[in-house]
Amino acid sequence: MSRIRDNYEDSLWNRLTKWVNGESDPFAGKMEMEPLREADYVGDSVYNPERLDKKKVLKYLEDTEKNQEIRAFRVLYNLSSVALCLLLIAVLLMAVSYLPVLGDPNGPNNNEVSARYVEKGMEESGAVNMVTNMILSYRGFDTFGETCVLFIAATCVIILLRKSEEEIENAKETDWKYEPKPDAILQKITLILVPVIFLYGFYIILNGHLSPGGGFSGGATVGAGLILYVTTFGFHKTQRFFNEKTYDMVKVGALSLYSVTMIYYFYTGANLIENHIPLGTPGDILSSGMILPINIFVGLEVACTMYAFFALFRRGGM
């Protein structure tokens, strides 16, 4: 009594078996799917996402360059950007107009925190400059993080721009811009200026706890001196005393000494252990405990990094 179903081909079971056996493609023609083609499996491994839409997309891209509507859209875009700017400013002005009055000695931020920094800062950490004192000892963790920001930015720039030695050699022939032309006046003036700049930079670094400045500004100054030297005399001369190895050594040395200092400071401070760092007499050059060495480490790191930025941008290597 078995009846042969005439629509067997379309039955669910048949389709299921076909699918399980891999004879049909359930997705063909649906959603993202194109029917599977032999060509997709053989040989060509070029990434080719939208075979069918290619022409459409290309046409669309052509259009964006000279379409009237898009131009109108861009005008609208500029207008809306100005509107956004004004709106943001208005909101912020609203907030500012309710903020405490500037310069008021009784304002909310002139509280016990800043009072202690000013009153006890000198005896607690031995530095005369309260700002350096605050960022390096009271809020030392922030500053450590900040040095790491500089370090990681340098790493990223190296990733992006460092070329291998061969590439630099190859580029030399075409790119005459890497090496400056010898210019007597410039070189003489540089020879006079660079020592002065270095001296000033080191002065800022070493006097960070006594006068305005510190590791960051002094380091940037020294870095600027190095940059001046290299723009005048070229990389060949500079490489004699400062190359990639030196850079790595100075950076790693300074940063690891800095982190060792910080670990010691954190550990002793948090566990209430006496840290035996001599504070010296406030006002002397050899005073203020760990602030002076940290300023030196930071200064070295910043100077090298600034120079490294320049060299990598200019040439792709040091």
Partner 1 sequence: MEAFKIVLLVFLILCAISASLIKNPLLSVIVFMSYSLIMSIIWFLLESPDLAITEAAVGAGVSSILFFVTLRKLKALQEGGQHEQDKR
Partner 2 sequence: MGPNLWANIDEVAAVILFGIGFTTLLLHKNMIKKIIGLNIMDTAVYLFLAAMGYVDNRLAPIVENGVTDVDAYINPIPSGLVLTGIVVSVSVTALMLSLTIRLYRKYHSLDLDEILIRMQKEELT
Partner 3 sequence: MNLARNFVENFPCFSIVLCMVAGILSTPIKGNHAKRITLLVVILVTCMSAATFLYVVSTGTSFVYTMGKYPAPWGNEIRAGVLETMLATVFSLVMLFSLLGGMDHVFKDIPEEKINLYFILVDLLLSSLLAIIYTNDLFTGYVFVEINTIAACGMIMIRKIGRSLVAATRYMVMSLIGSGLFLIGLAMLYDITGHLLMENAHLVMNQLVQEGKYSVPLLVIISFITVGLAIKSGLYPFHSWMPDAYGYSTVSSSSILSSLVSKSYIILLIKIFYRVIGFDNIVNSKIVDVLFVFGLAGMVMGSVGAIMAKDIYRMIAFSSVAQIGYVYMGIGLETEAGMVAAIFHILTHAITKSLLFLAAKGLNNVSGRKRVFYALQGSAFRNPLAGVAFLVGSLSMVGIPMLSGFISKLLFATAALGAAREKVLITLIVLAVSTILNAIYFLHTVVRIYTPVHVPEEFKNVHVRVSKGAALAVFSLICMNFILGLLSQPITDLIQVGIAMFA
How many residues at the interface with partner 1, by CB under 8 A?
A: 23
Q: What radius of gyration do the chain's Cα atoms show?
A: 33
Stretch of 11-19, 23-31, 186-194, 214-222 lying at the interface with partner 1 (CB under 8 A): 214-222
Closest contact distance (angstroms) between CB of 312 and partner 2 is 7
Closest contact distance (angstroms) between CB of 184 and partner 3 is 39
> Which position among 138, 198, 264, 310 is part of the footprint of partner 1 (CB under 8 A)?
310
CA distances from 261 to 22, 38, 176, 237 (A): 66, 65, 45, 35
- Exposure on the CB side of residue 66, measured as CA atoms within 13 A: 2
Angle at 261 between CA 258 and CA 264, to 5 degrees: 150
Q: Which of residues 121-160 bind partner 3 (CB under 8 A)?
A: 124, 137-142, 144-146, 148-149, 151-153, 155-156, 158-160
Tokens of 32: 């993202």
User: 11 touches which of partner 2, partner 3, partner 1, none (CB within 5 to 8 A by kind)?
Assistant: none
The answer to whether the Cα torsion of 207, 209, 213, 215 is positive or negative is positive
- Spatial contact of 291 and 127, defined as CB atoms under 8 Å apart: yes
Q: Which of residues 2-41 bind partner 3 (CB under 8 A)?
A: 19-23, 25-27, 31-34, 36, 38, 40-41
Torsion of CA 316, 239, 147, 194, to 10 degrees: -120
Q: Which of residues 160-179 bind partner 3 (CB under 8 A)?
A: 160, 162, 164
The smaller minimum CB distance to partner 1, of residues 177 and 240, is found at: 177
The smaller minimum CB distance to partner 1, of residues 217 and 239, is found at: 217
DSSP 282-309: TTSSS-STTHHHHHHHHHHHHHHHHHHH
Closest contact distance (angstroms) between CB of 133 and partner 1 is 11
Q: What is the DSSP letter of 8?
A: G
Residue found by looking up tokens 């291998």 in the block: 164
Q: Which of residues 229-268 bind partner 3 (CB under 8 A)?
A: 248-249, 251-252, 255-256, 259, 262-263, 265-268
Closest contact distance (angstroms) between CB of 33 and partner 3 is 6
User: 259 touches which of partner 2, partner 3, partner 1, none (CB within 5 to 8 A by kind)?
Assistant: partner 3
The smaller minimum CB distance to partner 3, of residues 75 and 113, is found at: 113
